[in-house]
Structure 1
Amino acid sequence: MAKLTRITTQKKNKNRFNIYLDHGEGESYGFSVDADVLVKYRLQKGMELDEPTIEALIRTDTIHKSYTQAINYLSYRMRSEKEIRTYLKDKEIEPEHIDEIVNRLHKEKLLDDQEFANSLVRTRVMTSSKGPLLLKKELIEKGVTASEAEEALNHYTFDQQYEKAMKFAEKKMKNDRKKSYRQQFQNVQQTLMQKGFTGDIVQEVLSNLPDDEKEDAEWEAVVFQGEKLIRKFERKAEGHDMKQKIKASLYRKGFPFELIDRFLEEYVEE
């Protein structure tokens, strides 16, 4: 048995206390505990503590410190169970302590993968250009089950997906206006798929892309690209040979033959 001889407050942390014990050979430092543990076990000067009790106090305090770290980690944003477990493992917390902390967080409603998934989807809808397939991938990487991810994606409506995808497509078309319409179209399709939008959304957007100024814009793009090719080939070829090189290059860029022929007729001499 050991007698509790003194309790002092730590200088750098007023919520932690040093416990001094006398095992029959004079007073010495025993261990430290948090204020919650001190109150819970009603520790006070003169108490006698056996070794199992001392070990239990140290274990309880260790778990309490780890739990406090988890709470602090959760204070910045919601976390998945996998994120919490990874964080505690990186802090070198004992596996059995991690299980106990995770169970407590679940009981206290501070850890809920479905609510975490719902919250992440709502946030991404507001702040990112990701489509639902990328969001589902992100959720699963964070430890959310496929069914929980699917449930969360109900918060990302078809109309929201369409609006986001269309806005990006229009911006992409504008930035690529010097390219052929076919190339612009293909770039939009590829990029939307890379961003995780589903096939039905992609097709809906592509079928509704504005084309009221398509003809004029396409001609301007042909002229822009064609003049670049003239400068490129003017020292290497001339006449019919130059026309063939320019024609092949413009066709590979996705321009229709009628506009290519019009450009060659107006801008390239035989």
Structure 2
Amino acid sequence: MVTIQASKKKVEESQYCEKPATPNSCLCKERRRMGIIREIPVAEAAAHKVLVEELDDAIDSITGRPLTGSWVWDSALVLSRWVSTHLNFQGKSVLELGAGAGLPGLTAALLGATRVVLTDVQQLLPGLLKNVEVNGFTDKVEVKQLVWGSDDSGITESSTFDIVLMSDVFFDSEDMIGLGKTLKRVCGEATQVWAAREMRPWTGECLDQLMAQGFQVVEQETSQLSVHAAVQDSNTFFAIFQIKPTLAENSQP
């Protein structure tokens, strides 16, 4: 079983930006209802800001419930903030899985990636397309439907990426088989896979499922991590993981 150290690390609030509302707060719900676009700083440089509109009308056609993936969650803020100081996106190709509102992938585009592909389920694609447009990234950011584990997607067998980004994907352990299959399709020998997650009781089980498929899971040191998000629960913790496919597993058809 993977050992998670993040329970000892609290997220610090950024000191240089206004705190946006969390997804469950009354203010954030009102912003989504009014369709206000958020300007989210993703690095200390003043120019490094991403525009994101959170949609409240993206509905799951099966359950009839709102698709909360269209909102910006704290894990996406954490990942965007972390990669802005730890990764070099210049000239890189980037894939975001379970993109939701697309903040980490849009951050990669802002910081120099030459090609970014944002993927999620069909219902979330209109919101992703709009966020690409409002940031002026239509020349280098694509939006594609991708259901984990499915062979029917816009990502071809020959499409490998330099960097894969994921936030809040470790939720249901039953989804990890499909996620693992997709990661093996899109990862080359040099691909880096980075994931951020708010720590929950089931996070370890999800990571164990990936390890059972031949992935290595390495938790990153995040003692200096800060996030421009208002975390309502003072006991909320986050972690950054690097997911490494083994060469033997990655070479399978």
TM-score normalised by structure 1 residue count: 0.19
Larger fraction in strand: 2
Which protein is bigger by CA-based radius of gyration?
Answer: 1
Q: Which has the higher contact order (CA 8 A, sep 6+)?
A: 2
TM-score (norm 2): 0.20
